[in-house]
Amino acid sequence: MPFSHPSTLNDMYNNNYNIPATKGGRYPVELVEGNEIELLVGTDVRDGNGAKRAINWCGGILQEPYPAVRALGFLPEEGHGVYVARWCHGSPAHRHGLFALQWIVEVNGKPTPNLDTFVDVTKAIEHGEFVRVRTIHLNGKPRVLTMKQDLHYWPTWELRFDPETAMWRRKVIKSLDSGVV
């Protein structure tokens, strides 16, 4: 069956067309011009749960990048960072321009390649202290922001998904009252 769009391959599979598998996961496919080529079809196992962890820091919702963002190649040149998925209105993130669709790659000059490192770096920042945040936008444009941490109204907390109970757990990491947990 000829195809002109990748979704047609999916239709062929779903409609039980005979697509003989060959060595290495390749499938011979006939193109519109009648030339047969071998197309490498890779798969990726997903559990369907999506994000399993998020950090709220200064009103910004941070997480590992979405798989679709990674698959499309929208990663900073550094190859790492904490992805800003959302921000809360009125928060320090909102007031200082830490919006969604960017990566935090450094905090006060310290690299933040993942959520664990990000939490370790930000635990040392006190209430009312100014923070220099280096970001890379989805379009690759770098930016440096200066923010003021407000632990009174915007404590740092974590949401973590527990697949055993299918529930989210919230844990305060640092607030004005509790210090560091």
Domain borders along the chain are 53-180
How far apart CA 93 and CA 153 sit, in angstroms, is 12
Question: Residue 66: exposed, middle, or buried by beta-carbon count in 10 A (0-12, 13-18, 19+)?
Answer: middle
Q: pLDDT for 148-157, tens place per residue?
A: 999 999 999 9
How far apart CA 142 and CA 133 sit, in angstroms, is 11
> For the residues 124-137, what does the mean pLDDT come to?
95
Fold adopted by 53-180:
Pdz3 Domain (2.30.42)
CB atoms within 10 A of CB 175: 17
CB proximity list for 55: less than 8 A, separation 6 or greater: 61, 62, 63, 82, 115, 118, 119, 156, 157, 158, 159, 173
Q: pLDDT for 76-109, tens place per residue?
A: 777 788 999 999 999 999 999 999 999 999 999 9
> Are 98 and 87 within 8 A, CB to CB?
yes
The dihedral sign for the CA sequence 94, 97, 98, 101: positive
User: Which residue from 50, 54, 52, 49 is spatially nearest to 119, judged by alpha carbons?
Assistant: 54
pLDDT at 66: 80
